[in-house]
């Protein structure tokens, strides 16, 4: 069963707070604790350029959770823990730990007295030697603090790929058919990111919703369904789209229309795709035109 979610706005620096990537916030007012604020359900893919210069994976924060503001500096120690990555691997898609020497972040975080959180940045220092055919992982765990306790929101996980040639910021000219209720018509959106999820696959992320989502028009207003976003996989030799899947594994399954010319046109950097669900009664027709790097 699907339901519609209205667009919300936000300014989270850490895009790992994307819907369905992390679970609901836990803010236990009955116990003083330190956390990353959110539970991971599925880690987010981060695409990197294959260059030797440093690239930021995320700017995120360590949080002090309590009804009162902290009265003294709080020290939190972080460390890499590659043993955590195995649980996020899927059959046929193993995760290779990114070498420790390529990951940079502060291992000692100080939340100043009177503050609720302290931001920090995670960087990959050199991606020039990474294998474009591999999916890499970074796992960071809180290991100690000098106040309260660390609750179970104590892990950050990122999956890292070298960006595919399909990665980028796109304009989406779409048409959606949905009979009951009736959402039928065209729309145009110019803030769609296609994020690398494999050497020849990308996932749709809608900036305005700050979510992995596919927009559509509801009586002239843009909206989207929860737990729906396409992942396109291409044949890199021919640029044909060979499959479309839902980013959300437990969500609605998509079927690529075999009669449509599903493809990427390298001359115009345009993607054409048509796919459906619920027995072919709900149909997306997408034209995605490349605007630039995301």
pLDDT digits (tens, 9 = 90+) for 81-117: 999 999 888 777 789 999 999 999 999 999 999 999 9
The answer to whether residues 232 and 147 belong to one domain is no
The answer to whether residues 115 and 47 belong to one domain is yes
The answer to whether residues 133 and 262 belong to one domain is no
The answer to whether residues 112 and 233 belong to one domain is no
**Does residue 3 lie in a domain region?**
no
Residue 121 has pLDDT above 60, yes or no: yes
Q: What pLDDT is recorded for position 38?
A: 65
- Other CB atoms closer than 10 Å to residue 185's CB: what's the count? 15
CATH number at residue 185: 2.40.128
Q: What pLDDT is recorded for position 5?
A: 45
What HEC string does 105-160 produce? CCCEEEECCCCCEEEEEEEECCCCCCCCCCCEEEEEEEEEECCCEECCCCEEEEEE
Q: What pLDDT is recorded for position 155?
A: 94
Q: What pLDDT is recorded for position 43?
A: 82
**Does residue 5 lie in a domain region?**
no
Q: What span, in angstroms and rounded, lies between the C-alpha atoms of 292 and 294? A: 6
pLDDT digits (tens, 9 = 90+) for 219-248: 889 999 999 999 999 999 999 999 999 999
Residue 12 has pLDDT above 80, yes or no: no
Q: What is the mean pLDDT of the chain?
A: 88
What percent of the chain stands above pLDDT 70?
A: 88
- Which of 161, 181, 205 is the last residue before a domain boundary? 161
Residues in the chain: 294
CATH number at residue 84: 2.60.40.1740
pTM of the model as a whole? 0.69
| pLDDT bracket for residue 180 (50, 70, 90) | confident
Residue 3 has pLDDT above 50, yes or no: no
Domain holding 156, by residue range, is 11-161
Lowest mean pLDDT of 39-43, 75-79, 122-126, name the range.
39-43
Q: What pLDDT is recorded for position 189?
A: 97
Residue 181 has pLDDT above 50, yes or no: yes
**Residues 123-128: what's their mean pLDDT?**
97
Higher pLDDT, 289 or 92: 289
| pLDDT bracket for residue 249 (50, 70, 90) | confident
Residue 31 has pLDDT above 90, yes or no: no
Q: What pLDDT is recorded for position 278?
A: 93
Number of domains in the chain: 2
Residue 7 has pLDDT above 80, yes or no: no
pLDDT digits (tens, 9 = 90+) for 183-200: 999 999 999 999 988 889
Counting beta carbons within 10 angstroms of the beta carbon of residue 65, is it exposed (0 to 12), middle (13 to 18) or buried (19 or more)?
Answer: buried
């Amino acid at each position: 069963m699907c339901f519609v979610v209205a667009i919300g706005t936000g300014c989270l620096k850490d895009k790992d707070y994307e819907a369905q990537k992390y679970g609901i916030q836990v803010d236990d007012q009955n116990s003083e604790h330190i956390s990353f604020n959110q539970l991971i359900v599925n880690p987010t893919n981060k695409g990197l350029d294959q260059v030797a210069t440093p690239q930021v994976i995320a700017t995120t924060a360590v949080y002090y959770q309590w009804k009162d503001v902290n009265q003294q500096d709080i020290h939190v120690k972080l460390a890499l823990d590659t043993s955590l990555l195995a649980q996020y691997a899927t059959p046929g898609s193993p995760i290779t730990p990114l070498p420790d020497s390529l990951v940079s972040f502060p291992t000692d975080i100080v939340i100043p007295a009177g503050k609720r959180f302290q931001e920090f940045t995670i960087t990959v220092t050199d991606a020039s030697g990474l294998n474009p055919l591999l999916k890499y992982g970074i796992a960071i765990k809180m290991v100690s603090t000098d106040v309260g306790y660390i609750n179970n929101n104590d892990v950050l996980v990122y999956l890292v790929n070298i960006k595919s040639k399909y990665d980028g910021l796109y304009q989406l000219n779409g048409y959606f058919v949905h009979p009951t209720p009736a959402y039928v018509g065209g729309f145009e959106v110019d803030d769609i990111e296609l994020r690398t999820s494999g050497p020849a696959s990308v996932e749709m992320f809608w900036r305005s919703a700050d979510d992995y989502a596919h927009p559509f028009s509801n009586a002239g207003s843009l909206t989207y369904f929860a737990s729906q976003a396409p992942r396109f996989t291409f044949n890199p030799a021919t640029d044909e789209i060979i499959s479309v899947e839902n980013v959300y594994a437990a969500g609605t399954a998509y079927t690529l229309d075999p009669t449509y010319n599903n493809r990427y046109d390298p001359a115009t950097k345009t993607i054409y795709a048509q796919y459906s669900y619920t027995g072919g009664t709900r149909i997306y027709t997408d034209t995605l035109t490349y605007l630039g790097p995301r």
